[in-house]
Structure 1
Amino acid sequence: MKVSADVRAMIERRKKGHTLAAPFYASEEVHALDMDAIFRRHWIQVAVEPDVPEAGDYMTVELGNDSILIVRDDDMQIRAFHNVCRHRGARLCSSEKGSLGNIVCPYHSWTYNLNGDLMFAEHMGEQFDKCKHSLKRVHLENLAGLIFICLAETPPADFAVLRASMEPYLLPHGLADCKVAAAIDIIEKGNWKLTMENNRECYHCVANHPELTISLYEYGFGYQRSADNEEAMAAFDKTVEERTKQWEAMNLPSKEIDRLADLVSGFRTQRLPLDRSGESQTMDAKVASKKLLGGFQQADLGGLSFWTQPNSWHHFMSDHIVSFSVIPLSAGETLVRTKWLVHKDAKEGIDYNVDNLTAVWRATNDQDRALVEFSQLGVTSSAYEPGPYSPFTEGLVEKFCEWYIGRLDDYANTPDEASVNTHGEKVVSFKR
């Protein structure tokens, strides 16, 4: 789509270290630009491998006007297609999840196998070539059980950097051998960027998340040092250093990797100790599932956080995984999809209780929803102007905004305004 002069001017004058101008959060024009420049051009995390555990299992994902069909084929490979019949464009699968042997169009019964090949199309004549009417494929990457799709013709090539960095961190948790124990969708009445900004800082956590901060150390996500907290922060730093050495000696990579702002497929990870009993993000900081993940023999392995640009974050612990995916619905509405995963052999009511498993993040999500909605009301006020981020607690928010503005600038200044920079790792710098 064409980037208007007004939006180009906003990109140009964005003030580093400050929140975005109001139209970035409230304008439907910017929302349309976000869908085209961000969500149709980049790797978007949309599912987990256990969403489609058996051959023939499928799920659908909506990204703007595009419906994507994710299916596990007979060879147990996960594939993605546009959920559109090649005959007259009818939607193939209308349910969010299901199971099938072949993909059959409900309109005229054109039938595709799970590889997307057209197998049957009645009354089309002898000259009709079925091979030219297979389902349109969507690029898919499976990162240690996390499913990413990209709608671009040529997706960003630096996913290989992400994979090489993150597989050693994620694979020990055995996500592919998990099951989805619970899933909750929330519609936040706020812009998707406010949702992501809220996630990228814990400045607000102590005052707003009593359940989450049971297991999280207060100093774990940035803090301004002072005479009053110097001793406590030094003790926390020492704990992180000691536990990181222990975990890495167990072949559990734990050191921080931060590529949020300098990669097209930006990401960040770090394993941090958990407070109290230090086992899991639960109301008592003990494991929620007795059946540990992977081959783990001990429970106190901290929490591995993994964030991706533009739309996901995940927490990996010894006993369960919590996965979050964000999808814009409009300028003022955002879908936040949360999934809790446990070992596939864990038995509900014996090894885990769903209420206990989900208690912390059910409460935290509801609190964050309210904060995002308060923010959306504020940014639409005539009194709003971009405010400064804390350099101590909101540096990762700034990296999200830096990445976002950089991607818009790259899109706006690409000759056809239609392709992602897939060459090299650096995000194209944006003008000041």
Structure 2
Amino acid sequence: MATDISGVGRPIAQANGLPNAHYTDPQVFAEERDAVLYNQWSGLAVAADVPEPGDAKPIEFLGAPLLLLRDKKGVVRVFHNICRHRGMILVSEPKKIEGAIRCPYHSWCYGTDGRLVATPHVGGPGMNTHEDMDRDTLGLVEVPSHIWRDVVFVNLSGTAAPFEEVNADLIERWKEFDSPHYHGGKSSNFQLDVKTNWKLAVENFCESYHLPWVHPGLNSYSRLEDHYNIEEPGKYSGQGTLVYRQIEDDNGTTFPDFPGLSDKWNEGAEYITVFPNVMLGAQRDHAFAIILEPKGLDETSEHIHLYYAKEDTSQELRDKNAALWKVVFEEDVFVVEGMQKGRHAPGFDGGRFSPAMDGPTHLFHQWVAEKIMDHRQKLAAE
């Protein structure tokens, strides 16, 4: 089923959003998986998920079994989580790899760098080598990956341009934050399971238009009129505020700032989506990353992680900060779930965009439509 997405690319005042099928149809979901999520640099996890050498975490990303691990040299890698022999899943739960990664089926073993290091009885009983089994060509298949702001981005198709090239403008925009980001620990990591298509979570995050009605607490000090749109066509979009207020404990203590920031960040903050599925927040004293995991047409897991400029920040203040952000993100749940239900209305045409307020959301729709059209043209040419 090829949807008509021509209306998405029109100027914002005349544009429609993506058609209903992009939120409700399994065939379109599969097309977006390939065109938008596999072919681009998508967020998979964070490096903090595997903090020490040998740590391994299996992750299923849109049906693809992957293995996130930190090798013995401390390098974070992503592999297909299958043995090269018969395709058996190698690691079924998070664990520490003490020696080698051993396949539970026939005990083929791999180093944490992906090399095939043992093939017991492959040449017959007691014969662990065979002239026709070249170990050098049978290592684990590594997935192209890149870490930025602790987020592990992957390109499943292996066809995307380098991450630093694709996201050069955003990296430059936030270069002042090019300093260590320390994960806040267990209390600074939480998950929201939402009954919605993953794109609706992005669309909602992109704009500040909904603040007065959905986030009255936040809007009481960071009002709609204190925000601005961030619009970089074909690259990223989001929103910023001019009145960021630091959180304090009962003694008036705040988190330490990231070093070397300009005055812009004294009361400024920005919230940007790295297309397709990573939502980031940059503030003077802490940062966050939200990785959207599409679980199905109308199921999304939001993995939220909070970061600080130093490792030894106050646990009490970290807990308070996490609780406040959790409230804000939970306030969005009824909205994105309500829009998902609304996409089943037969007469809905994708909706319209406010030229003044919805620019960031429209840019995301345009980017998705562009990637789908590119994918269709490539398939047609094959």
Q: State the TM-score, normalized to the length of structure 1.
A: 0.76
* 2:348 counterpart residue number: 384
Q: 1:49–1:176: 8 Å Cα contact kept in structure 2?
A: no
What is the aligned partner in structure 1 of residue 126 from structure 2? none
Residue 184 (structure 2) pairs with residue 143 (structure 1): no
Moved more, 148-157 or 25-34: 148-157
1:13-412 aligned at under 5 Å gives the runs: 13-14=7-8, 16=10, 17-95=15-93, 97-101=94-98, 102-125=100-123, 126-127=130-131, 128-157=133-162, 159-163=164-168, 165-166=170-171, 169-170=174-175, 172=177, 174-181=179-186, 182-214=188-220, 216-222=222-228, 258-259=231-232, 261-262=233-234, 266-268=235-237, 272-275=241-244, 278-279=245-246, 290-294=255-259, 300=266, 302-343=268-309, 345-346=311-312, 349=315, 352-354=317-319, 356-412=320-376
**1:339-380 superposed Cα distances (whole Å, 9 cap, x missing partner):** 122345225545x341x1112321122221110111111110
Residues 93 and 176 of structure 1, relative CA distance in 2, 3 Å threshold: farther
Unaligned runs of 5+ in 2: 124-129
Shift of 1:318: 2.8
| Partner residue in 1 for 2:127 | none
Q: Distance in 2 between matches of 1:320 and 1:362?
A: 15
Secondary structure of the structure 1 residue equivalent to 2:167: helix
**Residues 271 and 218 (structure 1), Cα distance of their counterparts in 2 relative to 1, 3 Å cut:** closer
- Measured in 1, the distance between the counterparts of 2:220 and 2:289 equals 20
- DSSP 3-state at the match of 1:211: helix
SS at match of 2:365: helix
Question: 1:425 maps to which residue?
Answer: none
* d(CA) in 1 for partners of 2:359, 2:173: 26
8 A contact 1:90–1:105 mirrored in 2: yes
Contact 1:221–1:393 (CA under 8 A) maintained in structure 2: no
Cα distance in 1 between the residues matched to 2:172 and 2:7: 38
Deviations 1:190-246 (A, max 9, x none): 1112111111111111111123335534224459xxxxxxxxxxxxxxxxxxxxxxx
Identity among equivalent positions (%) equals 25
Q: Is the 8 A contact 1:279 1:302 kept in 2?
A: no
Q: Distance in 1 between matches of 2:77 and 2:29?
A: 28
Pick closer, same or farther for the CA change 1:158–1:315 going to 2, 3 Å: closer
Letter in structure 1 aligned against 2:171:
M
The number of residues matched between the two structures is 367
Q: Report if the CA contact (8 A) 1:143-1:167 is conserved.
A: no
1:88-133, Cα deviation, whole Å (9 max, x unpaired): 21212222x4322332223332221111111112111232321121
Distance 1:174 1:188 in 2: 32
Shift of 1:416: 5.7
Q: 2:325 and 2:343 mapped to 1: Cα distance? A: 26
Q: Which amino acid aligns with 1:391?
A: P
1:152 Cα offset (Å): 1.0
What amino acid sits opposite 1:377 in the alignment? K
Alignment partners' CA distance in 2, 1:283 and 1:373: 34
Please give the alpha-carbon distance, in whole angstroms, between the structure 2 residues aligned to 1:322 and 1:110. 39
Task: Report if the CA contact (8 A) 1:306-1:314 is conserved.
Answer: yes
Aligned-residue Cα RMSD (Å) equals: 3.0
Q: What runs of 5+ residues in structure 1 fail to find an aligned partner? A: 224-255, 419-432
For the residues of structure 1 that align with 2:143 and 2:346, how far apart are their CA atoms?
Answer: 42
Cα distance in 1 for partners of 2:314, 2:65 equals: 33
Provide the rounded CA distance (Å) in 1 between the counterparts of 2:213 and 2:305: 25
Match of 2:334, SS state, is helix
Structure 1 residues 410 and 161: CA distance shift in structure 2, 3 A: closer
> Aligned pair in 2 of structure 1 residues 407, 70: CA closer, same or farther (>3 Å)?
same
Whether the aligned pair in 2 keeps the contact of 1:211 and 1:363 (CA below 8 Å) is no
Could you give the per-residue CA deviations for residues 326-351 of structure 1, whole angstroms, max 9, x where no partner exists? 1222111112111122345225545x
Q: Relative to structure 1, is the Cα distance of residues 313 and 134 closer, same or farther in structure 2, using a 3 angstrom cutoff?
A: same
- Look up the SS of the partner of 1:374 in the other structure: helix
User: Residues of 2 paired with 1:171 and 1:58: CA distance?
Assistant: 32
